[in-house]
Amino acid sequence: MNLEQYIAAMDPELRPVFMQRAASVQQLIADPTQAQGQTVAAPVSAPASTQRVTVVDRSIPGPAGAPEVPVRTYTPAGTNGTLPAVLWIHGGGFTAGSPAQNDDFCLRVVEEVRCVVVSVDYRLAPAHPFPAALDDCYVALRWLATPDSGLEIDPGRIAVGGSSAGGNLAAAVTLMARDRGEVALAFQLLVYPCLDDRHTTPSSHEMAAEGMIWNRAQSLRGWQLYLGNDGNKENGQTSDVSSYAAPARMANLDGLPPTYVMAAQLDLLRDEDIEYAMRLMQAGVPTELQVHPGAMHGFVLFAASAPVSERAISGYVTALRRALNP
């Protein structure tokens, strides 16, 4: 598929936003090391708390031998007793991003789901390759599940979610929680997650043209930086990649919590996301899969006001509400 075909296949609600913002988006993700430097050099302050939601930036104990982990907490006002919680993990190709980019979403989740949200400001590649980001996210999960957090969390109603690279980390945290048996998760939400470093699917080859949002070359480079080595630059494959780094490599998906997977048709991750959802179903995991036609990677972030994005976000916020407030 070339760029003209990609734009023609795009949902009409998304095409104008793509045309307006494509250049700025490409500039953001073209140089991962520069993007990371900008994030570190210019931290974004927390949004003002409202009458309905209290927003606090804090630091929690980090992994053994590592720095403290910054987190942003969103707590509903005027509640009594324990609440469900969502650990949210932002995207950014493993090399960029911060909790601030998902403030509006997290505030919405707090109000509509009536829960606490903890958003993790994890360490970024290439300065901090795997497993730094995963370790940060997992210690945040353990922290929010304990009384030490002071968040009044119901330990039986905890979900993990994330988008893009954050979806990778959400899936990996969920696998780690299952395998370590330290936190029982009620739900995982994976929004166009990056799951497979091997890039062997048809969609991973289809979305290769320059100008597409998160094309094949950009994705392979992001994986190489996250894994801490260049691997095979042609197909991204290495033989010693952990299944916690690339959850699609995990052979056993038994015993995972109910899952919602959202994929986009015009996304190189489409096929790996669909395959992961199918494997979850085959493993007996209650799984909902939504594939949005004409949508590209990142559409709910880059085109949040488009009606198709609103429909997508409403779908997975509703799924969170059902899972955490049965």
What is the C-alpha separation between 36 and 48, in angstroms, rounded? 25
Q: In the sheet where 116-120 sits, what is the strand order?
A: 53-60, 69-76, 116-120, 83-89, 153-163, 187-191, 259-266, 287-296
Q: Which of 98, 199, 297, 309 is catalytic?
A: 297
Q: Is 128 annotated in the active site?
A: no
CB-CB contact of 206 with 271 (8 Å): no
Catalytic residue among 98, 119, 149, 164: 164
DSSP secondary structure of 201-241? SHHHHHS-STTSTT-HHHHHHHHHHHHTS---TTT---S--
Q: How many CA atoms lie within 13 A of 262 on its CB side?
A: 29
Selecting among 267, 271, 273, 292, the annotated active-site residue is: 267
Question: What does the buried/exposed string (b/e) look like for 162-192 if buried means 16 or more CB atoms within 10 Å of the residue's CB?
Answer: bbbbbbbbbbbbbbbbbeeeebebbbbbbbb
Helices (H), 81-124: 103-109
**Quick check: is 164 catalytic?**
yes
Q: Give the residue numbers marked as catalytic.
A: 164, 267, 297
